Chains A and B, each alone.
Chain A
Amino acid sequence: MNTRTYDIIIIGSGAGGGAVAQELSPLCREAGLRIAVLEKGPKLRDDEFTSGELEMSRAVYEDGGGFLTADGAMTLAFGSAYGGSTVVYTGTSLLPPPRVIEHWNVPGLMHEEIALRAQKFIQQNNVHLLEDPLINENNKLFVEGCRQLGWRAEQFPVNVKGCRGSSLCNLGCPNQAKQGTNRVQLPRAEQNGVEVVTRCEVLRIEGKSVLARVTEKSADGKGEPSSWPPGDYRIQAKAIVLSAGAVHSPALLLRSGFERALPRLGHGFTSHPAFILVAEHPRPITNFVGHPKSFYLDQFAESGGFILETCMYFPFVTAKSLAGFGPDHSSFLRAFPRLQMILVLACDHIDEHNRVMIDSAGRPVVHYRFTPKVAQSLVSGAIASAKIFFAAGAARVHLPVASSPTLTAADASRLDALAADCRFVPGKTAVSAAHLQGGCAMGRSARDSVTDSRGRIHGHPGLFVADASLFPNSVEINPYLTIMALADRVAETVREDWQALQ
């Protein structure tokens, strides 16, 4: 067993870990502290980001993008690379509505503070609205469809710099335009003296140390080798910050034996279950060129429990998203240059069944069931999307929740009537989720939560959480800015507590 000693260890390098690393990094210079970020995934060279769907998915996603819930009915997509999920998001940069933070009811956590802390990252990450010439037809048709229906599509602020419109955001930007933690916060932290160790999976937390395993680069894999030789390590630290995400942070604490002291550990998992809808237009449109996710519609978030976002996916993911098989299924794929896509996201809320657990080998197992409300939200979102598609001029729409999924323009006028026959069937309709939240929720005490309002794990001084697992309920928007704002708050807390932790 190799041994290492640091002052602070940060587990994970995504929106949470990257932000904490940057915020604590001045301590390396100011106070001579030794800080390490332990990242399970690899660090890819700039020239290793390509347009290959499967090769990139394998390189930067957990389980190649195919991590499944326990019953196999939903795919959870999250990054596993230097930069975590910020490598594979689309860079959409939103703040939660004040009502969400009020509903969270975390003592001392106000919306104003999240907004204020997020401003720093909004500036660092070059968050702005894309200029009109960079908006492709896939997005413009969404806006036009909404306009025809009297609905108000909003433009996403995005965190890109020099976007060339590759549309490959979800595979990792090949032009280094997206300003994730891999481009901004982690390099800054490293400049200040933070060490980032990749291919380093933390297996357990034992008191003031962690057991970790550094793996060798596979012969056919992408990315740099780890800076540490392959092998098992015991790493000691005075403070440990978990930023491994809403699946791995609770799982790590569970396999480290924290469940008895923290009965809410793993509970409260939410994910914004989503599916991709596809429509065919009579003519080719610009779809796989340009930023894929420039607009959204959230006016039904409260009344209907869903949000619609523009999107554009790759051939395999698109094929998987369409219901059925055979010639009808193929005919949509063969119309790819004429396809418009919309992502329907359901605003799910905590449910006692939905939680992160571990199997006998200590691997995370996510139990998730679709509540009737979520199923209804997905159907309502699908019907609203079909209306937008037809209003924008689509010739036919693929509606996976309909008994006969292919709708033609003749069906456009009877969509509300069709809704009564639509049904979301788990295991038949492809559902995926990329906004994974909860499992180490903030709250008042160990009876109702895992951490206090500043990310300190109840009853364990020196142990902190700084990622989306802190969310006590769904954030109802794309989460990364909220994660960074909370991570900023946790980093401040680590600094405040530092003397006491010595």
Chain B
Amino acid sequence: MASPSTSSDPVVRAFVCTVVPEAAALNEERWSELRRLLDLALRDRPAALRRRVRLAFHFIQWLPLFRYARPFTALDPARRARFLSFLENNSLQPVRTGFFGLRTLALLGYYGQPQAAAEIGYAATARGWDAPR
């Protein structure tokens, strides 16, 4: 089965950039690494979970049609954010949990990269107190 990141790349990109605005500045090499991390995170999980992730990205793309008459990728950043807030604060727990799962993947793909960790000033090493600060 195709991974969620490669099969629905524009949706994944739009979603990640809404969750982490800094992702919009990533070059292709960093996007490729982000996709690799997502694929790795899902590789060994049950097939049912991978299917749910793909389905959730599908919903992200097409649910806005009912509210904005456009798919997610065609919305401006403010409307994308409003739509995701609607999911995050939804009264139905499965909707909130589904959004939370996709949000977790986006954060993993971005902040899981050593470059992103360095950019935010995180620099833990095995040398601990002996590392230059």
Contacts and interface: CB of A to CB of B under 8 A. Distances in A.
Given A325-B103, A428-B100, A314 B40 contact: no
Interface string B3-19: 00000000000000011
A174 interface: yes
A165 interface: yes
B74 interface: no
Nearest to A173: B126
Contacts of A327: 21
A2 to B, nearest CB: 24
B19 A325 contact: yes
Given A315-B117, A316-B111, A324-B88, A288 B123 contact: yes
B117 A325 contact: no
B122 A288 contact: yes
A226 B69 CA distance: 56
Contact of A314 (B19, B41, B122): B122
A134 B130 CA distance: 12
B108 to A, nearest CB: 5
A334 B120 contact: yes
A163 B129 CA distance: 10
Nearest to B77: A326
A316 B113 CA distance: 9
Interface in A407-437: 425-428, 430
A428 B128 contact: no
Nearest to B20: A330
A315 B107 CA distance: 9
B115 to A, nearest CB: 11
Contacts of B133: 286, 289
A290 B128 contact: yes
Contact of A51 (B44, B46, B125): B125
Nearest to B45: A63
A315 B104 contact: no
Nearest to A54: B112
B127 A164 contact: yes
B36 to A, nearest CB: 10
Nearest to A66: B41
Interface string A34-75: 000000000000000111111000100001101000011100
B107 A316 contact: yes
A329 B20 CA distance: 8
Given A72-B100, A327-B21, A427-B97, A64 B41 contact: yes
B2 interface: no
Contacts of A406: none
A183 interface: no
Contacts of B96: 425-428
A495 interface: no
Interface in B28-48: 37, 40-41, 44-46
B84 interface: yes
Contacts of B131: 289
A478 B130 CA distance: 29
A27 interface: no
Contacts of A167: 124, 128
B120 A168 contact: no
A166 B126 contact: yes
Contacts of B121: 334, 336-337
Contacts of A358: none
Ranked nearest first, the 6 interchain pairs of A and B with the lowest CB-CB distance are A165-B128, A427-B96, A174-B126, A164-B128, A427-B97, A288-B124
Given A64-B41, A166-B125, A325-B81, 18 more contacts: A66-B104, A71-B94, A72-B101, A167-B124, A175-B126, A175-B128, A288-B122, A289-B124, A316-B112, A319-B111, A320-B103, A320-B107, A320-B108, A333-B111, A333-B120, A334-B121, A427-B97, A428-B88
Interface of B: 18-22, 37, 40-41, 44-46, 81, 84, 88-89, 93-94, 96-98, 100-101, 103-104, 106-108, 110-112, 114, 116-117, 120-131, 133
11 contacts: A50-B126, A52-B114, A54-B108, A73-B97, A167-B128, A290-B129, A315-B117, A319-B111, A325-B88, A330-B20, A336-B120
